[in-house]
């Protein structure tokens, strides 16, 4: 079965703390009557700090949609190659060994997709399949893992590269004053991540099964309004309630393998916010510590959209993984409301409490 190898994750060099975020909110939205509620919600996210591709003073300015998209392209090309190289090293592969590149991002737009640039500049084969995914938002990390799994099953012996590039700070809209927008201003962060799914060999998560699920009639609960000023994030207050209908879906997926969702060895869950994690723990009857890697991502980086599941998975590797054959689940949630899920078993090659092939235990912080 295909194996999802250790991811590579990089966060930008500019940092904004929660205290700074709250101070900026008080200054920029002083006349908003709902500011006290927004401040409370931001505080309750538990996000200690976030990383940004530009200094906060530049982030808060809006130079126009065209300039923002140029920044997206420039920053992506500057930051992604090092992350991709490390992901390939983690998997023990070269660019020429990759059969498909799955690129996920919801914070900028390019055509041709960045996959074409990667193929032309990083030594990938010119017959490499390209799968760009732009509109699944935070769920795209889970979807990319599933599509990589499907590709490797359909093309025995081939390998897949997943690349996630999320510059959420480029979606800041200074004129949006609703609660959902104000909350997102204090929740989302920037990151780049990559991971390889090997068709044969490797250490990591042996992928067994994947699935998708759409909660009916919720397509307007998480969305973008695309205007002259760019992407305007829209968040419905009902989003935190979605774990109740999604928990049975995760339970059924795991049960299809004859497993018990409450007794898995690892859980890699999208960290959309603390209530989502708390509710899912409760509905799945698992201890709060089971989601510790997702909570750590949220605390240290904020919600980094499609990169969350890769970062949380990397934290599992840093911790040393679980016992050989340990069962687990990976799940991302996003617009739709969509759940993208995969389950698998650990094939991590533990040695001295660490994953045998892991070169370093530190996440990367990179500048341009």
- In 52-197, which ranges are continuous DSSP H helix? 56-59, 65-91, 114-121, 140-154, 179-185
Q: What is the DSSP letter of 174?
A: T
Question: What backbone phi and psi angles, to 5 degrees, belong to 252?
Answer: -70, -40
Mark whether 138 is an active-site residue. yes
- What is the H or E stretch that residue 3 is in? strand 3-4
Q: Do 304 and 166 touch, CB atoms closer than 8 A?
A: yes
For residue 108, the SS3 value is coil
Q: Cα–chain-centroid distance for residue 222?
A: 16
Q: Which helix (H) or strand (E) holds 213?
A: strand 204-214
C-alpha Rg value of the chain to the nearest Å: 19
Q: Which of 5, 106, 138, 281 is catalytic?
A: 138
Tokens of 110: 């390019």
Per the DSSP assignment, residues forming a β-bridge with 86 are: none
Phi, psi angle pair for 14, to nearest 5° = -90, 130
Burial class from Cβ neighbours inside 10 Å (0-12, 13-18, 19+) for residue 176 reads middle
Does residue 262 sit in helix, strand or coil?
helix
What 3-state DSSP class applies to 81? Answer: helix
Distance CA 163, CA 141 (A): 9
Which residues does the annotation mark as catalytic?
138
């Amino acid at each position: 079965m295909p194996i999802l190898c250790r991811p590579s994750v990089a966060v930008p060099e500019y940092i904004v703390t929660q205290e700074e975020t709250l101070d900026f909110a008080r200054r920029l939205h002083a006349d908003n009557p709902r500011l006290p509620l927004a401040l409370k919600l931001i505080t309750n996210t538990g996000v200690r700090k976030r990383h940004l591709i530009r200094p906060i003073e530049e982030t808060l300015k809006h130079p126009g949609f065209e300039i923002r998209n140029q920044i997206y392209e420039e920053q992506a090309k500057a930051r992604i190659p090092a992350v991709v190289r490390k992901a390939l090293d983690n998997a023990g592969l070269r660019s020429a060994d990759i059969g498909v590149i799955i690129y996920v991002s919801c914070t900028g737009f390019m055509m041709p997709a960045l996959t074409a640039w990667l193929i032309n500049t990083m030594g990938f084969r010119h017959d490499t399949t390209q799968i760009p995914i732009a509109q699944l938002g935070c769920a795209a990390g889970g979807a990319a893992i599933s599509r990589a799994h499907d590709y490797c099953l359909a093309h025995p012996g081939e390998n897949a590269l997943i690349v996630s590039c999320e510059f959420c700070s480029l979606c800041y809209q200074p004129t949006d004053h609703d609660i959902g927008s104000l909350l997102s201003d204090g929740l989302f962060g920037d990151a780049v991540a990559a991971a390889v799914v090997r068709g044969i060999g490797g250490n990591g998560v042996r992928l067994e099964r994947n699935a998708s699920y759409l909660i009916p009639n919720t397509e307007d609960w998480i969305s973008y309004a695309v205007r002259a000023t760019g992407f305007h994030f829209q968040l419905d207050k009902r989003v935190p309630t979605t774990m109740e209908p999604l928990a049975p879906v995760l339970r059924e997926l795991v049960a299809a393998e004859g497993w018990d969702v409450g007794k898995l060895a690892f859980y890699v869950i999208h960290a959309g916010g603390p209530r989502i994690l708390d509710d899912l723990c409760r509905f799945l009857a698992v201890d709060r510590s089971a989601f510790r890697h997702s909570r750590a991502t949220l605390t240290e980086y904020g919600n980094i959209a499609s990169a969350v599941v890769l970062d949380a998975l990397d934290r599992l590797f840093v911790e040393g993984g679980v016992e050989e054959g340990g069962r687990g689940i990976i799940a991302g949630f996003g617009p739709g409301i969509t759940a993208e899920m995969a389950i698998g078993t650990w094939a991590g090659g533990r040695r001295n409490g660490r994953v045998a092939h892991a070169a370093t235990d530190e996440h990367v912080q990179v500048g341009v």
